[in-house]
Amino acid sequence: MVEAAALPTPWQVRFQAGDHESIADTLKAGIGGSAGMRPHELLEAALATCMTISARMALADLGVTDAEVGVRVHLEREESTTRFRYELLLAPELEAHRPMLIEHIACSPVRSTLSKPLVFEPA
């Protein structure tokens, strides 16, 4: 569970999950700032971090530790579709593992969650 609370500075929000805390922020009509990630960037971060963890775990299963691996995610908000574009970033010596890693990140838990129909309801 994540809890968020507005801060005195316009559009800044402190959010917390357990012992971890950060700030989100946005700029709208010249008001606000960049003290933290924007809310849509947090969605991109959730997918990118989960896919990176999935790739790293798959490499660890092969005995490859401390791997240079990452994922870049870009969220495109269209009229009728929300599109997540992602790119697997690998060190050159890991390129032979790309097809297997693409399969693993395609099944990452956050991607699986975001791929299902979403329901929003008050608690």
How crowded is residue 114: how many other Cβ atoms within 10 Å of its Cβ? 15
Residue in the structure block whose two tokens are 């606000």: 32
Tell me the pTM.
0.93
Residue in the structure block whose two tokens are 């693993």: 104
Angle at 10 between CA 122 and CA 82, to 5 degrees: 50
Token pair in block for residue 80: 């009728």
pLDDT for the residue 29: 87
pLDDT tens column, 68-123: 999 999 999 999 999 999 999 999 999 999 999 999 999 999 999 999 999 999 99
Mean of the pLDDT values across residues 34-47? 95
pLDDT for the residue 30: 86
